[in-house]
A and B are shown apart, each in its own frame.
Chain A
Amino acid sequence: DIQMTQSPSSLSASVGDRVTITCQASQDISDYLNWYQHKPGKAPKLLIYDASNLETGVPSRFSGSGSGTYFTFTISSLQPEDIATYYCQQYDNLRLTFGGGTKVEIK
């Protein structure tokens, strides 16, 4: 299986800060990489698909980049409503895998 290593596992930042999360794949996955936001008690929400495409309706402060084995997810200006756990997910083959998650908190 393709392993997805996500870092950091948690972070604390101030409102307005730029936040960056990384995800590294154990092998080349091209741009088959997606990012989700998960808030407690809610269903996960797709934010970015195919590494850099913003899902319809998602605020433009969220962005993604990368290809191959190294990917980044950025919140350009952290807002209070962005408190959540964020996950990367690959689909290079039929056996999909998630990263371990990054819990984002407000400082």
Chain B
Amino acid sequence: EVQLVESGGGLVQPGRSLRLSCAASGFTFDVYAMHWVRQAPGKGLEWVSGISWNSDNIAYADSVKGRFTISRDNAKNSLYLQMNSLRAEDMALYYCAKDAQGEQSFFDYWGQGTLVTVSS
């Protein structure tokens, strides 16, 4: 059974940093691309960042480019999102999502999300 478990969310002040993690199990992690998708309160889904199976291809939404860094550790079956210079508009539920392919395409499994609250 595919499982994606996010962690690392919490309350953080504007301008500070936070690192999200996603622990994956139930599939061959190093074959598939992975993503972070978020949903701000009362808003729709927003793709944040994606990373290919071998980390060769990485992309970010304009809203986070230059502040967020996605990475993965295939030996640990883990995905990460380093979030720096956090803003109020980054407050959201952050989902880890598994891609159906090795390069960015669509999301066939999702975690339950970790909540990031940005407030002073």
Contact = CB atoms under 8 A, between A and B. Distances in A.
Contacts of B62: 1
A28 interface: no
B106 A46 contact: yes
B118 interface: no
Interface in A16-55: 32, 34, 36, 38, 43-46, 49-50, 55
A30 to B, nearest CB: 12
Given A91-B104, A96-B50, A44 B44 contact: no
Given A36-B45, A98-B44, A91 B106 contact: yes
A44 B45 contact: yes
Interface of B: 35, 37, 44-47, 50, 57, 59-62, 95, 100, 104-108, 110-113
